[in-house]
Amino acid sequence: MSRQIIWDSKMIEDATERINNGFVLSRLENPFFEKVVGLRTSGLVFKMSPEEQEEYIRCALDIHYFASTYCYIKGEEGQPIIIPLRDYQKEILDNFFNNRFNILMASRQIGKCFSFNTKVFVGLNDELLEIRFGKLYYYILSRQRKLTILEKIKIKIYDLIYLLDK
């Protein structure tokens, strides 16, 4: 019959230190997947301290806090750095956090935006036109079908917002 260990942060730190000091841990003593320090194995039973439980709850309730505290990207020199969230990234996180019925189909590094009034450049007959994203959307939509009254009202409201932002 196999023995099961209930791990806590102190035990994980001790195992990490022992591995870093050159000790070879048995399978039962090693909490890491394929002996890669920091990558916990599946099925590991872990008991959180009250402080860890509070942090877990805070992360579960505040997606921005979680991302700005625990999510890293590779920096210019290859070192891990905390992700500096931009406004549109926060909006994407909010959309996914508040509504599970979301799909974001977008490639990397294309300058995603969610603002109706964001200006984009469109090539037309060897000419580069500057147009607001929302206007372009409704223009293309109007070429496919007649716009509804609600859609026409939305266009006018966004036009007004654009004028007020200038």
25 contacts: CB under 8 Å, gap ≥ 6: 15, 18, 19, 35
Kindly indicate the confidence band of residue 13, based on its pLDDT and cuts at 50, 70 and 90.
Answer: very high
**Dist. CA 70–CA 135, nearest whole Å:** 38
Q: Enter the pTM of the model.
A: 0.51
46 contacts: CB under 8 Å, gap ≥ 6: 6, 7, 8, 40
pLDDT at 45: 87
Please report, for the chain, the start and end positions of each structural domain, with discontinuous segments joined by +.
6-47, 51-98, 119-165
Question: C-alpha angle with apex 156: 149 to 145, nearest 5 degrees?
Answer: 40
Only one residue has tokens 């004028």, namely 163
Percent of the chain past pLDDT 70, that is, above it, reads: 92
Summarize pLDDT for 33-45 with one digit per residue, the tens. 887 888 888 888 8
Summarize pLDDT for 80-122 with one digit per residue, the tens. 888 888 888 888 888 888 887 877 777 766 656 657 777 777 7
Q: What is the mean pLDDT of residues 154-163?
A: 87
